[in-house]
Structure 1
Amino acid sequence: MNSTALYGDLKGGKLALAAFVLALANFMVVLDMTIANVSVTHITGSLAVSSTQGTWVITSYAVAEAICVPLTGWLAGRFGAVRVFGLSLLGFTVFSILCGLSSSLAMLVICRIGQGIFGGPIMPLSQMLLMRIFPPEKQSQAMGMWAMTTVVGPILGPILGGSISDNLSWHWIFFINIPVGILCGFAALKLLKSAETPIAKLKIDTVGLSLLILWIGALQLMLDLGHEKDWFNNTSIWILAIITIVGFITFVIWEMTEKHPVVDIKIFRYRGFTLATFALALGFGAFFGSIVLIPQWLQINLGYTATWAGYLTATMGVGSLTMSPIVAKLATKYDQRALACFGLLLLSGVTLMRAFWTTNADFMALALPQIIQGFAVPFFFIPLTNLALASVKVEEMASAAGLMNFLRTMAGAIGASLAVTIWDDHAKVARSEMVSNLNIEQTQQHLIDHGYSEGSVMGIVSNLVDKEAMTLSVNHVFLILAGVFLLAALIIWAAPKAKGAVEGGHAH
């Protein structure tokens, strides 16, 4: 890093303030990954769109962020880490304002893409700059604070998102970024001048970047639009599928031969990194799919408010906060594969518990899997990250971390799209089967005997069938996700045992 000259430039109150600014900026970006999850129902109702279309608000942000993470190193080297960090914060704030002002789904999705583009470099740069301003003996404490914001953000996101959507309006989940973004952006540019990195005229792999945007954009469009376009019965879905496949193959060939690739694919030559990253992507895809799906089902089917859906989703945070430091210590003593396998099997078990949820389930029946999941997440996340990064050479660690974060974020976006699509598709199948087995005349007469008018009976029956069909469908999705966790738990044993430890800064 060549940062030894920086130690001591910031002292006392200025150092504490700089660290607070970096941590707060990271917290804001992490918060925005989950704050919209419980607000999707409010957004879809306000903009008059379906729940599958509402999920685009989450996936568009994740995809844009994923594409920008690998570019962080080049941006920092070309324009300076502090400058890029400050401008990213200001750009993120501008797009947050535009998200809040959006009056259509198209405008909101475009602005969420803008948020993701500017938000992508903030997390890795906040980590890097913390390492630059603190002396070596205090870096682990600084990284502990940084890691805490990364853990607390997803916990508070659903609570804040739900409370704001219910008491103000969904627009304010974006407007709350304004004071934080402006404060952190200007404070970073002023306070961190001495931590600025050298600037050089670095080459960028424009062809590789263009191909990356092309095939990932086509893939995400195919997943998001497939449900509405009747999948491969539609020509546009076929075109997107062909663009995805051809674009991906061309991208891989180009990156393998490029001297300065935008994504260093050669890192996949390490079996430990490849398998650990693949297991991490599978696990995170299933995990993110479930945390996007649960709040929507709670609000649409069980009549939960966004606030209470947020509280229930956030019960997961207790276990995550408790177990993160414990698992970090266990990871230095025990086989990373065993810890990761335990975490993934636990996640498979709690997801299987959800596959038996009913429409009359009480709060504790719904919260228990969330609480257990919180304890499982650090067991899955920390060892797999350590195992992946311990498999590569020290000089390749930054590229490996960037590639791993890119694949994890992409897997989350794909998992969310598929989970909501399968839920909606299977609900139609379940409804059709229920209607064909329903004795309408007997049900009608039973309700009329209990004082209901003939005109209201069909509406009541239809509503009940819809709710039960959606619950059967959500159970079906959880059964699939439990299988994905189980597959990831088995895959990890094909990876070689980790030979060395990973430096704390990289593990996060």
Structure 2
Amino acid sequence: MSAPQPLAPLSGAKLAIGTVAVSLAMFMNVLDSSIANVAIPTISGDLGVSVDEGTWVITIFAAANAVSIPLTGWLTQRFGTVKLFVSSILLFVLASWLCGIAPNLPTLLGARILQGVVAGPLAPLSQALLLGSWPKQKSSTALALWSMTALVGPIAGPSLGGWITYDYNWSWIFYINIPVGLFAAAVTWAIYRDRESATRRMPIDGVGLFLLVVWVASLQIMLDKGKDLAWFDSPLIVALGLVALVGFAFFIVWELTEENPVVDIRLFTQRNFAGGTISISVAYGMFFGTLVLLPQWMQGYLGYRAVDSGLATAPLGVFAVLLTPVIGRLLPRSDPRYIATVAFIGFAVVFMMRTQFYTDVSHWDIVLPTLLQGIPMAMFFVPLTSIILSGLPPEKIPAAAGLSNFARTFCGAVGTSLIGNAFNDRTILHHVRLTEQASPTNPVFTQQMDTVHGALHLGGDSAYALFNTSVDSQAAVMGLNDIFYISAIIFIAIIPLIWITRPSRSAADTSSAAGAH
């Protein structure tokens, strides 16, 4: 039986409208990973939970999304690219509606899990549909459009989320997906339904999938609940840690011996894949974790409104959008290791700039590093993905892209949890150190309190409350600066991982990588 002939590319209005529809689905997915960042304090307040618990809205989405990514290949072969893509969009719309009407945190988290699971196929399938729509000689243009769509999210997400949360209601950050998703699904089906990919029944690694869900879920819950339950003083946290550890060990052994593994662990024996995947995953964990933390600090300690913190973080995508096409043209003529190294150094410089924050930091001092962070962001994804996929045989590229995306997305969730916990721990430590001498038996302290009483005409309790508020703000900014300092060090420390690779210079590798992130 001969192989099916490739479909002719689209042209004219069909190509333009199809590109818009497919890109909108990708934009909806990317937007949803960033639009909630600035709304977490508001969501937490409305649902009567702490900001730490509210952050689960982000981490649980990322973890569920990471688990579903490796299934995309099997689902595509079983149901077809177009049917799976349209179904994922419609289920994403349903999950978004459920998020919007959620009356409490457990319901919202359940809806976010569904949203994360069905979002897994959107990125790789949107890329596949675009590449199949455009003429082969213009594939770089299609990938550039795909990348631009992915990068617009960090610009639109925070500002749009802040505006909606402040002027309307946080539920609308999820409801906004409904008209966008319905339009994208209807147009995609109308244009692409006759371009369905071939299907066949494939065995699924059920045991591997079960073990993957077990250890990922256990680890994520342990990280999210650890601080509230005093970490390993809690039997639940100990149990979750053991389940995660044992589940991960069994998962590795099973996947190495399974004929059709859900995750091809053997890819880590390839130095390019190992070095590139570990470096991009760790870097993304630091990048995304700090991106979530910054708006929470601005709203919790600087008095920023949701819309203001959104506008302060929105400039992140400006240089990213402007420079990504330039990097795409530069990459075929350059060693991607140099570009990725410059990107990591750029991230380190930006984070070092943020270590100078103080309690009365100006709006511009917050915006400037965020704006400049877009430069290394443009030099981050494409070169590292090029390294990851270089030298692999064509039949291994889908599995490699899926595994690297799983690792990166999961590290985004883990990084958010770890950075949130580290910020709380450092803030508490600095608060203790700042108040070591704050005792009624210390004559210097009591003299200062007496001065406050007289100058501000405050009673004793009010003066102590003002003092504690001031210490809280100072401890928080010192904790934040610690996080940025550690992040800068980590970005420099992982640079050697880039240089253990030996990327090939084939054009095929470069073009395959351009949109794979």
The TM-score by the shorter chain falls in which range?
over 0.9
Q: Secondary structure at the match of 1:450?
A: helix
> Does the CA contact (< 8 Å) of 1:6 and 1:194 recur in 2?
no
CA drift at 1:250: 0.7
1:319-334 aligned at under 5 Å gives the runs 319-334=319-334
| Aligned-partner Cα distance in 2 for 1:140–1:343 | 22
CA drift at 1:4: 5.0
Gaps of 5+ in 2: 439-443
Q: Secondary structure at the match of 1:261?
A: coil
Matched residue count: 506
| Aligned-partner Cα distance in 2 for 1:440–1:171 | 47
Matched, 1:459 2:460: no
Which amino acid is the alignment partner of residue 458 of structure 2?
S
Residue 92 of structure 1 is matched in structure 2 by 92
Runs (4 or more) in structure 1 with deviation over 3 Å come to: 2-5
- What whole-Å deviation, never above 9, does each CA across 1:211-258 have from its counterpart, x for those lacking one? 000011111011111111111111111111111111111111111111
| Aligned-partner Cα distance in 2 for 1:503–1:356 | 38
Matched, 1:470 2:476: yes
- What whole-Å deviation, never above 9, does each CA across 1:363-383 have from its counterpart, x for those lacking one? 111112112211011222221
Residue 345 of structure 1 is matched in structure 2 by 345
Q: Structure 1 340/227 Cα, relative in aligned 2: closer, same or farther at 3 Å?
A: same
> Does the CA contact (< 8 Å) of 2:283 and 2:491 recur in 1?
yes
| Aligned-partner Cα distance in 1 for 2:191–2:497 | 46
CA drift at 1:74: 0.7
> Does the CA contact (< 8 Å) of 2:80 and 2:198 recur in 1?
yes
1:55-454 aligned at under 5 Å gives the runs 55-438=55-438, 439-454=444-459
Q: Secondary structure at the match of 2:379?
A: helix
Which amino acid is the alignment partner of residue 147 of structure 2?
A
CA drift at 1:80: 1.2
| Aligned-partner Cα distance in 1 for 2:152–2:4 | 29
Name the TM-score, length of structure 1 as normaliser: 0.97
Residue 479 of structure 1 is matched in structure 2 by 485
Q: Structure 1 332/239 Cα, relative in aligned 2: closer, same or farther at 3 Å?
A: same
Q: Give me the identity figure in percent.
A: 38
| Aligned-partner Cα distance in 1 for 2:133–2:329 | 26
- What whole-Å deviation, never above 9, does each CA across 1:90-133 have from its counterpart, x for those lacking one? 11011101101112111111111110011111111111111222
> Does the CA contact (< 8 Å) of 2:44 and 2:50 recur in 1?
yes
Which amino acid is the alignment partner of residue 475 of structure 1?
N
| Aligned-partner Cα distance in 1 for 2:271–2:384 | 13
> Does the CA contact (< 8 Å) of 1:83 and 1:196 recur in 2?
yes
Which amino acid is the alignment partner of residue 481 of structure 1?
S
> Does the CA contact (< 8 Å) of 2:144 and 2:325 recur in 1?
no
> Does the CA contact (< 8 Å) of 1:335 and 1:498 recur in 2?
no
Residue 441 of structure 2 is matched in structure 1 by none
> Does the CA contact (< 8 Å) of 1:78 and 1:199 recur in 2?
yes
Q: Structure 1 139/491 Cα, relative in aligned 2: closer, same or farther at 3 Å?
A: closer
| Aligned-partner Cα distance in 2 for 1:416–1:389 | 27
> Does the CA contact (< 8 Å) of 2:83 and 2:196 recur in 1?
yes
> Does the CA contact (< 8 Å) of 1:337 and 1:493 recur in 2?
yes
CA drift at 1:497: 4.3
Gaps of 5+ in 1: none
| Aligned-partner Cα distance in 2 for 1:189–1:58 | 30
Residue 15 of structure 2 is matched in structure 1 by 15
| Aligned-partner Cα distance in 2 for 1:424–1:471 | 11
Residue 44 of structure 1 is matched in structure 2 by 44
Name the TM-score, length of structure 2 as normaliser: 0.95
CA root-mean-square deviation: 1.5
